[in-house]
Amino acid sequence: MEKGGTLESFAAEHKKLLETALINYVGKIQAPDILKKAMVYSLEAGGKRIRPLLVFAVLSAFGKDTRLGIPAACAIEMIHTYSLIHDDLPSMDDDDLRRGKPTNHKVFGEANAILAGDALLTLSFQIIAQAAQPQVPAETALELIRELSKAAGAEGMVAGQAADIAGENKSLSLNELEYIHEHKTGKLLSISVLSGAILSGASYDQRRHLLQFSRDLGLAFQIRDDILDIEGTEEMIGKPVGSDAGNDKSTYPSLLTLDGAKQKLNEHIAQALAHLAKTNLDTGLLEEITNLIAARNH
C-alpha cells in the first residue's frame, strides 16, 4: 500500500474492488429474479462507499493486505443499503428519490423492497461466516459478527431509526439529537473502523483510540449533512434542499444556529484527528478521509 496523499487513487481502486465483490455475492444467489434485481438495484445505486473505505483504510493503516477487508466491507455496505431501502418506505421516511434515482419500492413495489432489505441484512452475516477460512480465524469472524450485529440491531442502527421516528415533529434536545445520530449513522461508521481493527489484530489501546476517532467522525459526518441541507444545491446532494426544515426536523443548525453547527463540526474534526494521532499507525489515509468529510459537498 502507498502512503499519505494517495486517497483519491486508493478510494477509486477499492471502490472498484468493493463493487465487483458486492455484485459477485448477489450474482451467485439462486433466488427469484425480481428479488435479486431489487437487491442489485440498490447495491449499484452507488454513493460514496465511505463505510467500506474506512474498513480498507484502517487495514492499510496497520500495513495489512486490504483485500482481507472485502467480506466485512461488503457486509457493512449491504447493511447500510438495506437500511436505506427500509428507511425510504412510505411508512418510514416516504422518499421517492435516493441519490437522484427512484427509490427501491418505487421500482419494485413495497413488498419486494421490504424483502430485498431483509435479504441483504441476512446475506451480510452469511458473507462473514463464509469468509472465515482460510484467511480469517473462526474466532475473528465470530467477533466481527458479534460486533456487526450489535452495531446494526436494536442497540445500534435500528435503535437510532426507532428514536428518529419517535422524535418526528417534536423539538429535540441536543442530547436526543446526538443519540439518534450516534445510533442511526454513527454505529455503522464505528463498526467499519472497528472491523478493520479486528481484522488487523489491533491492541486494546489502538481499538479504543480508533473507536473514539470513529465517534467524532460520525458526528462530524452528520453535522456536515445538516449544514449541506441548508447550504447545498439539489444537484450537489441528490435530494431537495431544505427538506429537513420542511419536515420540521431538529438539526444541528436549528439547535445551534448555522455558525454554531460549523463550530461543532470543526471541534469533532479536531478531536477525530487527535485520536488518530494516538494510534501510532500510518493514518495518512484516515486523516484525508476525515478532512474530506469536513469539507464534502455531497
Q: Provide the binding-site residues for its own copies, judged by CB under 8 A.
A: 26, 29-32, 34-36, 39, 82, 86, 89, 91-92, 109-112, 114-115, 117-119, 121-123, 125-126, 129-130, 132, 137-139, 141-143, 145-146, 149-150, 152-155, 158-159, 161-163, 165-166
Looking at the Cβ atoms of 163 and 230, the one nearer to its own copies is 163
Closest CA to 247 of 94, 87, 97: 94
Looking at the Cβ atoms of 159 and 228, the one nearer to its own copies is 159
What's at 138, amino acid-wise? A
Q: Least distance (Å) from its own copies to the CB of residue 36?
A: 7
Q: Least distance (Å) from its own copies to the CB of residue 228?
A: 25
Contact 62, 281 (CB under 8 A): yes
Residue 287 grid coordinates: 486523516
Q: Least distance (Å) from its own copies to the CB of residue 105?
A: 8
d(CA 61, CA 196): 9
Contacts for 113 with CB less than 8 Å, ≥ 6 apart? 38, 85, 86, 88, 89, 103, 104, 105
Q: Least distance (Å) from its own copies to the CB of residue 83?
A: 8
Q: Least distance (Å) from its own copies to the CB of residue 204?
A: 19
Looking at the Cβ atoms of 149 and 290, the one nearer to its own copies is 149
Read off φ and ψ for residue 160, nearest 5 degrees.
-65, -40
Looking at the Cβ atoms of 142 and 211, the one nearer to its own copies is 142
98 dihedral zone (left: phi>0; alpha: psi -120 to 50; beta): beta
Q: Least distance (Å) from its own copies to the CB of residue 125?
A: 5
Looking at the Cβ atoms of 172 and 269, the one nearer to its own copies is 172
- The interaxial angle of helices 70-87 and 138-152, nearest 10 deg, is 20
Residue 146 grid coordinates: 458479534
Looking at the Cβ atoms of 12 and 166, the one nearer to its own copies is 166
Looking at the Cβ atoms of 22 and 289, the one nearer to its own copies is 22
Q: Least distance (Å) from its own copies to the CB of residue 53?
A: 23
Q: Least distance (Å) from its own copies to the CB of residue 297?
A: 31
Looking at the Cβ atoms of 110 and 234, the one nearer to its own copies is 110
